[in-house]
Amino acid sequence: MSSSKGLAAAFDLGTTTIAASLVEPATGTRLAVTGAMNPQRRWGSDVLARLTAGGDPETLRAMQAALSAEMERMTGELLDRAGASPADLAQVAIAGNPSMETIALALPVESLAHPPFRPLFSAGKVTTTLDLGWSRAYPCYLLPLPGGFVGGDLLAFLFGMTETPTAGTLFLDVGTNAEIALFDGERYLATSAAAGPAFEGGNLKCGMAALPGAVSAVQIKGDRLLLTTIAGAPPRGICGSGVLETVAALLEEGIVEPTGRLVPAVEIDSNLGTRVQEVNGIPAFVLHRDARGLVYLDQEDIRALQLAKGAMRGGMEILLGKANLTLEDVSRVVLTGSFGAVLSPDVLKKVGIFNGKMVRITGFIKDGALAGVERVLLNADGRDQMEALAQKVRVIPLSGTPLFEKHFLAHIDFPKP
């Protein structure tokens, strides 16, 4: 398809959320950016649930159709915002974990659903958007899949870092699948910890993507609860950064114990106790109440976050062990993810994902994976560079390893404040 403007659309296809942007390769500028929830959530909130559902060919095609419709809608929105038309779009590039890229192409999912969890393709895939189920044909590139549940999204995040990392740099892409990479000086050791959707706000009772109205930051001052929402809109739900900040604040106030137990209202001295109520029979902490309903975090949500952070910390420990390093040897931490807000490293320490040193050496990059997909589109030899990077990644599987179970269990509790 010839194009007058030669614009390109970049997608970071997350299990819970999708981020997309429109770039102009001629000038290297980002023209527009948008985000949405992944419409495949109705088939399950995590990768394994979707792979199970996708074992049925008809369901697999339905999942692909839902995704392609949403991606086309997002593309239309980006073009509208940039004052461009569909004819101005010249190409599309997509990064996702192996399950997301496989389902996007409606390819059989069996090899990913069962050990040893192998993607059907590892090199990047050059195709057209018709193969994704779009109504229009654009040249399309899906990023390589190094293996297991480590995918193009982690590669995009690494590729978005323009400078060469130092040995001991830890990369964390925190989403429904927490993907972790450690640069040992020569190559990247990478793994994926099934964090569950807690970090992205998915699957929580009031969880939502980082869209207007999502509670993104929480502070407790005395008996007062101060909420920040995305775009300053009235609170409608809670996104990943809001979940982590809420739990960190409740730990400090003693309203959540290190075991994860939400303390009953009768045991709380301050007026904050009035916010601990039963919602649908489950103890919950109410963040906001209005005519439209409640925004709250309940005991099950807190447990989901504990499992997520235990898996993530366990994955980090395994990679460090493989490189003969400890947490104290980590030289730098680069954090990204669709939390919704810039997450303070201090909050990650309070919930037990980071230690004290990591707080001081952490930098946060918003839309890290999306920036990497954009770089593939903006560089003349972006695809070749991406394929070369994929060769430098060694995947370390976690599932079924006793050492991972041990680290995971050791880090389920929250630290004492």
pLDDT in tens, 348-385: 899 998 999 999 999 988 889 999 999 999 999 999 99
How large is the average pLDDT for residues 134-155? 96
- As a three-state string, the secondary structure of 287-323 is EEEECCEEEEEEHHHHHHHHHHHHHHHHHHHHHHHHC
Q: Residue 202: pLDDT band by 50, 70, 90 thresholds? A: low
pLDDT score recorded for residue 196: 60
Tokens read off for 348? 């990650």
pLDDT score recorded for residue 198: 60
Q: Residue 3: pLDDT band by 50, 70, 90 thresholds? A: very low
**Higher pLDDT, residue 5 or 148:** 148
pLDDT score recorded for residue 1: 37
Of 3-17, 90-104, 336-350, which gets the smallest average pLDDT?
336-350
**Higher pLDDT, residue 387 or 202:** 387
Q: Residue 254: pLDDT band by 50, 70, 90 thresholds? A: very high
| Percentage of residues of the chain with pLDDT beyond 90 | 77
Contact 181, 171 (CB under 8 A): yes
Which residues, in sequence order, are CB contacts of 57 under 8 Å at separation 6+? none
**Cα–Cα distance for residue pair 156/132, rounded to 1 Å:** 20
Taking 50 as the threshold, does the pLDDT of residue 165 lie above it?
Answer: yes
How large is the average pLDDT for residues 299-309? 92
How large is the average pLDDT for residues 308-317? 91
How large is the average pLDDT for residues 271-279? 97
Half-sphere exposure of 296 (CA within 13 A, CB side): 21
* Mean pLDDT for the chain overall: 92
pLDDT score recorded for residue 2: 39
Of 10-14, 30-34, 176-180, 365-369, which gets the smallest average pLDDT?
176-180
Contact 340, 216 (CB under 8 A): yes
How large is the average pLDDT for residues 26-45? 93
Q: DSSP secondary-structure letter at 185?
A: S
pLDDT in tens, 258-269: 999 999 999 999
Q: Residue 210: pLDDT band by 50, 70, 90 thresholds? A: confident
Q: Where are the beta strands (DSSP E) in 123-239?
A: 125-128, 139-142, 169-173, 178-183, 188-193, 214-221, 224-229, 237-238
Taking 60 as the threshold, does the pLDDT of residue 340 lie above it?
Answer: no
Q: Residue 4: pLDDT band by 50, 70, 90 thresholds? A: low
